[in-house]
Amino acid sequence: MKKRIIAAVLAGMLIVSAGGCGNGTASSGNAVDNSNGMATESSADQAIASARQDENADADTKEGGVTALSLMQEVNTGDEQIIDDNYRTWYEVFVYSFFDSDGDGIGDLNGLTEKLDYINDGDPATDTDLGCNGIWLMPVMPSTTYHKYDVTDYCDIDPEYGTMDDFKNLIAVCHERGINVIIDLVMNHTSSQHEWFKTAADYLKNLPEGAEPDASECPYVDYYNFSKEMQGGYSKLDGTDWYYEAQFWSEMPDLNLGSQAVRDEFDKIVDFWLDLGVDGFRLDAAKEYYSGSVDKNVEVLSWFHSMVKEKKEDAYIVAEVWTDQNTYAKYYESGIDSCFDFSFADSTGTITSVLKNGSASSYGKALVNLQDNLSQYSDSYIDAPFYTNHDMARGAGYYSGDDSEKQTKIAQAMNLLMSGSAFLYYGEELGMKGSGKDENKRAPMYWSEDSADDGMCKGPADMDAIKMKYGALETQEKDGNSIYQFVKQTIKLRNEYPEIARGTVTFEESVSDDKVCVIKKTYSDSELLLVYNLAPESVEVDLSGVTAGEKSGSDLEVGGVLLTGTEEAVLQDGTLTMPGYSVVIVK
């Protein structure tokens, strides 16, 4: 009997826009422009959108009105098997741009709490939420900037975001739903307006000529890296002949993490947030603790890991070490749980490169190489794959042409089906766009095409008007062919199969090629196959010689499918016929 894998409709959205990152392909788009309202479409744009709409209507009629979602749901029928550990699916939230609860145009903690049903409603029986079971909060502490990476007080909430009671409520409601929360902890630097720095600066300004600073007189002079010599990454302290390290910006002076006094401060800061129920920390700019010194940075992380785990054994720690894989792999010697996996991310990473001009087999080889690389330094590492984040151009702009929506979808699957703790940046599940200046990458969550709707944020002040390529949530949640529905199904499968997040990867090279990548994931005594067709055309894959557990050939079964096209696919007698840009779980 044939085991059928239903392929999906790739519905052209009403609006298609220029691909970002220099793709230069012009087409129409909805615009998010919170200062001047929505941008209008040209007649040509409207004609293109209308033609695509008619095309999709015809396709739906031929297929009896079925959608990708309805077809995937016929196959993806298993129950969640959530394990309460640190292998999670994390949703990165920039609170400022997420949801505004009080009408001031700025996202806030109460707005996030109000929208938790979107991320995870806590009920495994429903299918209306994304299914993420972790939230990474970008900085929420008081700051002088919109991004809040310049902290003025490590033990409070920025008033733009709400109150400490709002934060406590958010944590409580998250935990009721099985969502863990980690917060951004910026240890590399403070704001120049932090009391530590202001006190040290005032002390140096009043220091008698020729006198050397004395930490017994002002302990805070040892909290930073002051020098009489100008060095790379240093700024001048106004009114003095002193300089201070500030690798990112003059208003973000670097801390001296070799100081025991500074470490004692962070010991107390960690206590403060753990006592509030935080489940761990994302460590910003860990590569710059000691710029250019891996060994010193590893030592800092080793201290931090030990200090935190003594307080909360199951706390999750993930570090940002933005460099090449061979280098960030070494940071696992510190014992921390995770480092972000930059080698697979961004417009030049493994995922995008494979989809644009690479071989599917290279994806499988890269997965095994990553595994081998990280395991050299830790036997307890948890990889932290991500596709984009708040510092990168959004993924929908990486592709252009007829297959761009399919590529945008399948790229999300390539990230979210990786082993480890996978991260999804808010709005990527909608195919939001944004490139160029940082503000553009942190645009308002695209709940609605109408920027005046309740809860819509105005976004950073210097953000450009952004033409969105795909519809807002209010459109995509009603469209069974949308990127949103595809991503939800991907997370559903990740939650259904513990092997996906926790499995050891074996690359099945003998049945992989330029179009197809077959990997096996082994977890405990269970195995499954992930078969990727990363090409636009359909393919046949001979799995008769591949085993999954004790099964092989005609005994293999389909356990899940992710679809981007209308072609039918069949698993018969060990041969799998797959539509273009699809993923099949075989068990």
Indicate which residues carry an active-site annotation. Answer: 284, 320
Distance between CA atoms of residues 482 and 15, nearest Å: 12
- Dihedral angle over CA of 391, 397, 398, 399, nearest 10: 170
Contact 50, 41 (CB under 8 A): no
Contact 354, 308 (CB under 8 A): no
Residue ranges in 280-435 assigned as alpha helix (H): 294-311, 325-328, 350-357, 360-375, 404-416
Task: Classify strands 134-137 and 180-185 as parallel, antiparallel or unpaired.
Answer: parallel
Distance between CA atoms of residues 179 and 316, nearest Å: 13
Residue owning tokens 């991500």: 386
Cα-based angle 89, 94, 100 (whole degrees, multiple of 5): 115
Q: Calculate the alpha carbon distances from 484 to 281, 429, 507, 562, 566 in Å.
A: 28, 5, 29, 12, 18
Distance between CA atoms of residues 252 and 30, nearest Å: 36
What three-state secondary structure class fits 110?
A: helix
What three-state secondary structure class fits 422?
A: strand
Greatest Cα pair distance in the chain: 90
Distance between CA atoms of residues 566 and 212, nearest Å: 75
Distance between CA atoms of residues 511 and 471, nearest Å: 38
Query: Closest by alpha carbon to 125, among 173, 89, 85, 79?
Result: 79
Secondary structure of 507-538 as H, E, C letters: ECHHHCCCCEEEEEEEECCEEEEEEEECCCCC
Residue owning tokens 């009080």: 102
Q: Calculate the alpha carbon distances from 64 to 52, 70, 73, 129, 238 in Å.
A: 18, 12, 16, 27, 72
**The two three-digit tokens of residue 91, written as one number:** 């949703």
Q: How far is CA 269 from the centre of its chain?
A: 25
Q: How many CA atoms lie within 13 A of 489 on its CB side?
A: 31
